[in-house]
Amino acid sequence: MVSTRVIDTARRDGAEPRHVWYTSYGSNTHLDRLTFYLAGGRPPGASRTYPGCRDRRPPAASVPVRLDGALYFATRSPVWAGGRAFYDPEAGGRVLARAHLVTVEQFSDIAAQEMYREPGVDLDLSGVLSSGRAVLGAGRYETLICPGTVDGVPALTFTAPWGVNDVPWVKPSAAYVRYLATGLLGAGGFDGATIASYVANCPGAAGHWTAREVEHLIGRGRPGP
């Protein structure tokens, strides 16, 4: 099993980096799903076509990480027919995630697509790298978070401007849970039982999904080597 990488909570100062660890905690933990943000296209069964990134290469590396904070499911995705994953860095707990090593240009284009913006413009990361948080808008994924660094390279993600207790929780669909959970499994740092228990206890999933049911989904959607 691959060792889970440690997030160094000290943020990087100085010049803007060329690469960052895009730290995914939702469906983009799964490389198949992330590929549509990178290379463009329409995922099977989806109603949305993604334009993709200017640089369509896959991540240079992909590693399992743990974040301080909480994962929860809220709002209702028309793509997934259920709750979306959000990250609250201020809440207690630990979040299982997968960090993809990408260029700043790729991260900017992935973030733009999650924000329903047109990709093609590099984000100004100076604010989030210095303070750990930058609000680009009021939308669901328009708040950038830098929880620290991995091997000296900044880890970046995006989430909502609200916290775990500020919105109603919404049950995630089976398809969404399967992508999230099998993506974490594919990262190599977590076993199926750990992932299943983690997902089943996240707000929005708790009381709707059991660990056994999540393990069954993992078995059906287990990624290849």
Say yes or no to pLDDT of 224 above 50: no
CB 31 within 8 A of CB 183: yes
Structure tokens at 159: 């989430």
Q: Is residue 3 part of a domain?
A: no
- The 10s digit of each residue's pLDDT in 144-177 is 999 999 999 999 999 999 999 999 999 999 999 9
Q: Is residue 35 part of a domain?
A: yes
Asked whether residue 13 is domain-assigned, the answer is no
Residue 48: pLDDT above 90? no
Output DSSP code: residue 41.
Answer: B
| 116: in domain | yes
Residue 68's beta-bridge partner residues? Answer: 94
For residue 8, tell me if it sits in a domain: no
The CA distances from residue 83 to 19, 35, 42, 205, 218, in Å, are: 30, 22, 20, 9, 18
Domain count, the chain: 1
Is the model's pLDDT at 1 over the cut of 60? no
- Residue-level pLDDT at 166: 97
Q: Is residue 27 part of a domain?
A: yes
pLDDT at 114 exceeding the cut of 60:
yes
**pLDDT value of position 8:** 79
Q: Which domain holds residue 171?
A: 19-220
Establish if 1 belongs to a structural domain.
no
- Percent of the chain residues past pLDDT 70, beyond the cut: 92
pLDDT score recorded for residue 44: 74
CATH number of the domain residue 176 falls in: 3.10.490.10
Q: What is the pLDDT of residue 169?
A: 98
Return the higher-pLDDT residue of 183 and 49.
183
pLDDT digits (tens, 9 = 90+) for 64-91: 999 999 999 999 988 888 999 999 999 9
Residue 9 belongs to a domain: no
